[in-house]
Amino acid sequence: MFETLTRNWWIQLIRGALALALGVTALIAPSTSMMLATFLVAAFAIGDGAMTVTAGIGIDDDDTGRARGVLIGTGAAFIALGLVVLFWSGIPVAVLVALFAVWLIASGALLAYGARELRPQIPAAGSMIAVGIAVAVIGLALLVVGPSAVDAVLPFAGWFGVVVGLILGTVSLRLRRDSRALPEQALVA
């Protein structure tokens, strides 16, 4: 699983750029950016789903089949969520907030699960587990409070997106550096 993430470092870079764009949009134009925010949430969910499916497909056969199934299933659900948000013309704010909250809960749980599974390969797995729990709790709070708190939460969400985007960008560059130490993959004809 770690090798798959390392070889696909560029997907983390894309996820970081999308999170950064979403965060900056929330900070710069919170009231006029609903359409753009909807597009960015959809793009981020689709990108996150693609990364999750890629990680699931790339897991070695000696890893557990359960992890593969969880990753592929969760990634497919993220992609479906992103497509619903993207193609639902005039999506109500309440529905968008609920979908975003559910996605945050699932993303946080998946991050914590992945960090737990990769504990031997990742020195700071404990902090990744804590971040996963924090993301899930933020999603749960957003789901409970609902769209009435969107205006109050938007600046926090903006800064959160900026920080997460920068962290993912940094992680992607670290993965890129680590990918150079991996043996070349054999081409299958």
Give the containing element (helix H, strand E) for 45. Answer: helix 34-57
What's the pLDDT at 76? Answer: 93
Q: Of the candidates 117, 21, 24, 39, which has an alpha carbon nearest to the alpha carbon of residue 85?
A: 39
184 occurs within a structural domain: no
pLDDT band at 63 (very low <50, low <70, confident <90, very high): low
Count of beta carbons in the 10 Å neighbourhood of residue 92: 10
Give the containing element (helix H, strand E) for 183. Answer: none
Range with the poorest average pLDDT among 58-62, 64-68, 74-78, 119-123: 58-62
Sign of the CA dihedral running 54, 34, 139, 86: negative
The answer to whether the beta carbons of residues 83 and 46 sit under 8 Å apart is yes
185 occurs within a structural domain: no
Report how far residue 150's alpha carbon sits from residue 166's, in angstroms, rounded to the nearest whole number. 23
Reported as a single tens digit per residue, the pLDDT across 102-158 is: 888 988 888 788 778 777 766 667 777 887 888 899 889 888 887 776 667 677 778
Query: Who wins on pLDDT, 12 or 13?
Result: 13
Report how far residue 134's alpha carbon sits from residue 76's, in angstroms, rounded to the nearest whole number. 23
pLDDT band at 5 (very low <50, low <70, confident <90, very high): low
Report how far residue 166's alpha carbon sits from residue 160's, in angstroms, rounded to the nearest whole number. 10
Q: Of the candidates 32, 174, 149, 53, which has an alpha carbon nearest to the alpha carbon of residue 110?
A: 53
14 occurs within a structural domain: yes
Output phi, psi for 138, to 5 deg.
-60, -45
74 occurs within a structural domain: yes
Q: What is the token pair recorded at 52? A: 């999750």
The answer for residues whose C-beta is within 8 angstroms of residue 152's C-beta and 6 or more apart is none
Count of the separate structural domains present in the chain: 1
Report how far residue 74's alpha carbon sits from residue 107's, in angstroms, rounded to the nearest whole number. 9
% pLDDT > 70, the chain: 78
**Does residue 83 have a pLDDT over 90?**
yes
187 occurs within a structural domain: no
7 occurs within a structural domain: yes
**Does residue 30 have a pLDDT over 60?**
yes
DSSP 141-186: HHHHHGGGGHHHHHHHHHHHHHHHHHHHHHHHHHHHHHHTTSPPPP
What's the pLDDT at 79? Answer: 93
Model's pTM, two decimal places? Answer: 0.69
Q: Which domain holds residue 139?
A: 2-179
